[in-house]
Amino acid sequence: MDDDLPTEYDVIVVGTGMTESIVAAAASRIGKRVLHLDSNEYYGGLWATFNFDGFQKWMEDLKISKHDSKDFKPDLENGETFLKASNQYSTVENIAEEWFISHEADLPLVLTKDTQTDGSNDTSSLTTEKTDEDKNDKKETKHWSVDRIKKEYRRFNIDLAPKLLYARGELVELLISSNIARYAEFRAVSRVATCMDGKLIQVPCSRADVFANKTVSVIEKRMLMKLLTSCMDQGADSPEFDGYHDKTFLEYLNTKNLTPIVNHYVMQAIAMSTDKTSCRDGVNRTKHFLNSLGRYGNTPFLWPMYGSGELPQCFCRLCAVFGGVYCLKRHLDGVVVSEDKCKAILTGKQRLSLEHLVVGQGHLPPEIVASTGENQISRGIFITDRSIMQGEKENLTLLYYPPEESDQEAVTVIELGPSTNACPQGLFMVHMTCKRTKTAQEDLAYVVKRFLCAKTLESNVSRTPTDSHTQTVATDQHQAQEGDKGANEGTIENPMPQVLWSLYLNLPASDIKLNESAPSNIHLCSGPDLDLDFDFAVNQAKEIFKAMYPSEDFLPRAPDPEEIILEGEEIPGPKFEGDNTSGENEKQDAEKAEKEE
Amino acid sequence: MSSSGPENLMGAASSDDGFDYLFKIVLIGDCGTGKTCIVQKFRSGNFIQRHGFTIGVDFSMKTVLVDGKRVKLQIWDTAGQERFRTITQSYYRSANGVILVYDITKRSTFLSLQRWIDEIRRYTSSHVLLILVGNKCDLEEAREVKSSEAETVCEYLPEVFRNVETSAKENTNIDSIFFCLASELKRRHENRQINTDESGTVKLGNGRNLSTCSMCSYKLS
């Protein structure tokens, strides 16, 4: 295939992360000539979502150093300097992968109720069915093995940077106003959980939930409603919060004479605050949370189907629909700078000229970087065999877990079930995210220990499969082991989820800044940040767009297909070459098609 | 509205006409094989000979009648992203049918089929209905791919439901491929061979269609 790209653009975007993709779409939408490159063969960079196989490949590729040391001297004109692109700001560290289950061999088959009456010695027919995964799922439940997970790799969607959307957050509003929403599907987060006295409970979010909740007294309910209403109606600038501007949210709440349980709900679940969170931040988060309630579901949050990595691709699609040129597996060699302007990029022997360069942090020349950033991210990803909090139906759960000790960081936990396409039936995918202090594994250890059983599962231990979500308490060996701990804490009723596979990694900081020598037409896009939502990326994209095209509309609504009239097409259109029989053909074709059935 | 699922697939416009089923069809294949022409011919009866790449075309909607049921096809074009083989995975998501197009007058487009099949296998569900289309069969004198070759290839591709040659220019078999997709998807949906259960998924929108969505019916603003 001809790999030569056209050589002149208004905007060249390097990297297909969230910010980059939004900017690319916005520029293309107003008619700019856009080229969008990515050195990877997939979209999203550090925002990507992979299936299980893709994830393994991603880790393999990280081991191979991408630093190509070939020092090539490009042809430059007078006064031009060449700055070589570097991937040092997208370094993923401390990857630790571990399996807690066996390979296929020696695993007994476990039959579900449906087939048990047939007799468990009828293994021959089961073996022959093995090839057909879908049938298998319905008829019998095998133990999950390494081989089985690898074989069903397509049914996993693993996020590098899992993020939720507030139902009235920046991204939802942007998706709707730009009409990009048609490219994506979501699921509502079905419950917000909080950990109280060592026990996970669901936080009542809606008015109905609050009043149906039995753990809160009527007086507490009134208290909670009153507080929430004042945050909602007035916001942080209200006189209500005068005198708390330099105080913490906790200090403000303490003046309200709330009961501990109400205080806990507001602090940890609704405002997702620690005792260091400022009053302003706390009130604003509470307001954001309440504003988004009731739009799409029981909680204020939405999760993108197939993972967060879908969303950058939706913007890329819009960019392409409006003429943006896409090229993956295309490496940025470096940028050509002259008189404080970036004039061109060099990629794969081509020199491509541009007005603006929008570049992800993974491709920046070190010469123009001021600081490497401080807020690095610790991530943990776990495939488990049951929910951290058994419910009557499959749930999509958000849990904010504040630090237990002063040297720990608050951890955000998102648990995804099969209906999000994150994993097959019978499994769950748990994502943990926090600010990095040590390694990801060390940072997250205290939360993992509390909610998950990350011990190697002996192959001879029969663990009750969980096809239903309302499973009765299983008495297996693992439970007995955990029993001591559970008894000590006196709280955990269900067996802890067994981890089948875990992965820890540290993502780079998202607060990298350019220095003053950076040409003004180079625009930096950060990688995934620590926030729960995408608002940081959306706002950064808006700022970049405004810097490039101050007087233009940012992603005006794209027309629906019905509104587009192509050149040469009129409605009702003249038939091709006076062909009046196409209606006839249609009918005949319809009949033909029916006969073929 | 007879079925519970497919309506939810679309939160977009065209709420004017009702339909009984809605299926998403994606077109793929090398650049210049005539994918956009096929869609345009089917949608409006026009053959627009354009040069260059597909710009501004996102997807098209057309409702066909099968056994008295209105089957609405949402037909997605590649937006030129196939040019450097950079189609987004999300393009394939929740596709019910795939039309894989090659150009009978350009052998390289036929030789690319395997790579497209690999991509379909990677990104679509295992129940996707695939039709292989050799386009431009009006240009018999320039033919580089024999129809028997396509038949042979299909023996090794069990997912290909039908293999057909078309001409968007002369309107050969164009309507037929879409009716074939519509009727087979309808049949499979009725027999529950394909899962279009979208319950609980949320489409963002101006609230136009959301009221039909089971999860979000209780509160709309």
Residue B187, pLDDT above cutoff 50: yes
Residue B195, pLDDT above cutoff 60: no
**Among candidate residues B73, B54, B47, the one with its CA nearest the CA of residue B136:** B47
Tokens of A383: 């495939």
Residue B45 is nearest to which of A328, A562, A576, comparing CB atoms?
Answer: A576
A348-380: pLDDT as tens digits: 889 999 999 999 999 999 999 998 888 899 999
Distance of residue B217 Cα from the nearest chain A Cα, in angstroms: 8
The whole-number average pLDDT for the span A239-253 is: 85
Contact assessment for residue A343 and residue A53, using Cβ atoms and an 8 Å cutoff: no
C-beta atoms of A562 and B94 within 8 A: no
* Cα-Cα end-to-end distance for chain B: 24
The residue assigned the tokens 């087939």 is A115
Concatenated DSSP letters of A20-75: HHHHHHHHHHTT--EEEE-SSSSS-GGG-EE-HHHHHHHHHHHHS-----------
A172 to chain B: closest CA residue: B204
C-beta atoms of A562 and B61 within 8 A: yes
Which of A226-235, A331-340, A432-441 is predicted with the least confidence, judged by mean pLDDT?
Answer: A226-235
A117-165: pLDDT as tens digits: 333 344 344 333 334 444 444 444 568 889 999 988 888 999 999 999 9
Residue A68, pLDDT above cutoff 80: no
The answer to whether residue B137 sits within a structural domain is yes
Concatenated DSSP letters of B129-159: EEEEEEE-TT-GGG--S-HHHHHHHHHT-TT
The answer to whether residue B20 sits within a structural domain is yes
If contacts are CB pairs under 8 Å, which of residues 116-145 in chain B contact chain A? 122, 126
B90-138: pLDDT as tens digits: 888 889 999 999 999 999 999 999 999 988 988 887 788 999 999 999 9
- Number of neighbouring beta carbons within 10 Å of residue B32: 17
Q: How many CB pairs under 8 A join A and B?
A: 182
- Going by pLDDT thresholds of 50, 70 and 90, the confidence category of residue B220 is very low
A534-566: pLDDT as tens digits: 999 999 999 999 999 999 999 998 887 766 555
**Among candidate residues A188, A114, A94, A108, the one with its CA nearest the CA of residue A143:** A108
If one compares A448 and A284, the residue with the highest pLDDT of the two is: A448
Predicted local distance difference test score (pLDDT) of residue A67: 55
Predicted local distance difference test score (pLDDT) of residue A399: 95
If one compares B184 and A214, the residue with the highest pLDDT of the two is: B184
Q: Cα separations (Å) of A188 from A170, A432, B183? A: 17, 19, 33
- CA–CA gap between residue A549 and residue A542 (Å, rounded): 10
Q: Cα separations (Å) of B131 from A356, B40, B118, B162? A: 42, 18, 15, 5
Residue A490, pLDDT above cutoff 80: no
- Provide the domain count of chain B: 1
Contact assessment for residue A18 and residue A540, using Cβ atoms and an 8 Å cutoff: no
**R_g of chain B, CA atoms, integer Å:** 18
CB-based contact, B93 to chain A, within 8 Å: yes
Residue A423, pLDDT above cutoff 60: yes
The reply to whether ipTM tops 0.85 is: no
In chain B, the percentage of residues whose pLDDT exceeds 90 is 38
List chain B residues with CB under 8 Å of A576. Answer: 41, 45-47, 169, 171
What letter does residue A469 receive in the DSSP assignment? S
**Among candidate residues B48, B43, B16, the one with its CA nearest the CA of residue B209:** B16
Best of B75, B89, B111, B219 to disrupt the A interface (most A CBs within 10 Å) is B89
The answer to whether residue B220 sits within a structural domain is no
Quote the strand ranges of A361-445, DSSP E: 369-371, 377-384, 397-401, 411-416, 428-435
Q: Cα separations (Å) of B44 from A383, B142, B187? A: 49, 27, 26
C-beta atoms of A181 and B55 within 8 A: no
Predicted local distance difference test score (pLDDT) of residue A456: 84
C-beta atoms of A322 and B183 within 8 A: no
If one compares B54 and A324, the residue with the highest pLDDT of the two is: A324
C-beta atoms of B57 and A321 within 8 A: yes
- CA–CA gap between residue B118 and residue B129 (Å, rounded): 15
Which of A147-161, B72-86, B185-199 is predicted with the least confidence, judged by mean pLDDT?
Answer: B185-199
Residue A195, pLDDT above cutoff 80: yes
What letter does residue B213 receive in the DSSP assignment? S
Residue B175 is nearest to which of A294, A330, A589, comparing CB atoms?
Answer: A589
Predicted local distance difference test score (pLDDT) of residue A126: 39
Give me the phi and psi of B129, to 5 degrees please.
-95, 125
- Going by pLDDT thresholds of 50, 70 and 90, the confidence category of residue B15 is very low
The answer to whether residue B83 sits within a structural domain is yes
- CA–CA gap between residue A89 and residue A363 (Å, rounded): 8
- CA–CA gap between residue B164 and residue B38 (Å, rounded): 13
The whole-number average pLDDT for the span A514-530 is: 93
The answer to whether residue B200 sits within a structural domain is yes
Question: What's the CA dihedral at A376, A502, A186, B192 to 10 degrees?
Answer: 160
A443-456: pLDDT as tens digits: 999 999 999 998 88
The residues facing A369 across adjacent strands are A514
The answer to whether residue B213 sits within a structural domain is no
- Going by pLDDT thresholds of 50, 70 and 90, the confidence category of residue B194 is low
Distance of residue A564 Cα from the nearest chain B Cα, in angstroms: 8
What letter does residue A88 receive in the DSSP assignment? G
Residue B219, pLDDT above cutoff 70: no
The answer to whether residue B221 sits within a structural domain is no
CB-based contact, B64 to chain A, within 8 Å: yes
Phi-psi region of A198 (alpha: psi -120 to 50; beta: other; left: phi over 0): left
The residue assigned the tokens 């693993």 is A158
List chain A residues with CB under 8 Å of B50. Answer: 567
The residues facing B97 across adjacent strands are B25, B129
Tokens of A479: 């439970």
Helix (H, G, I), strand (E, B) or coil at A522: strand
Residue B78, pLDDT above cutoff 90: no
At B192, which CATH number?
A: 3.40.50.300
What letter does residue A180 receive in the DSSP assignment? G
A287-334: pLDDT as tens digits: 889 888 888 877 899 999 999 999 999 999 999 999 999 999 999 999
Predicted local distance difference test score (pLDDT) of residue A255: 87
Residue A408, pLDDT above cutoff 70: yes
Predicted local distance difference test score (pLDDT) of residue A578: 37
- CA–CA gap between residue A365 and residue A382 (Å, rounded): 35
Residue type, A385: D
Q: Is B206 exposed, middle or buried (0-12, 13-18, 19+ CB in 10 A)?
A: middle
- CA–CA gap between residue A328 and residue A44 (Å, rounded): 11
Residue type, B108: S
Best of A172, A290, A295, A308 to disrupt the B interface (most B CBs within 10 Å) is A295
Supply the range of the domain harboring residue B61: 6-208
Phi-psi region of B200 (alpha: psi -120 to 50; beta: other; left: phi over 0): left
B36 to chain A: closest CA residue: A566
Residue A317 is nearest to which of B56, B84, B90, comparing CB atoms?
Answer: B90
Half-sphere exposure of residue B151: CA atoms within 13 angstroms, side-chain side: 3
The answer to whether residue B216 sits within a structural domain is no
- Going by pLDDT thresholds of 50, 70 and 90, the confidence category of residue A493 is low
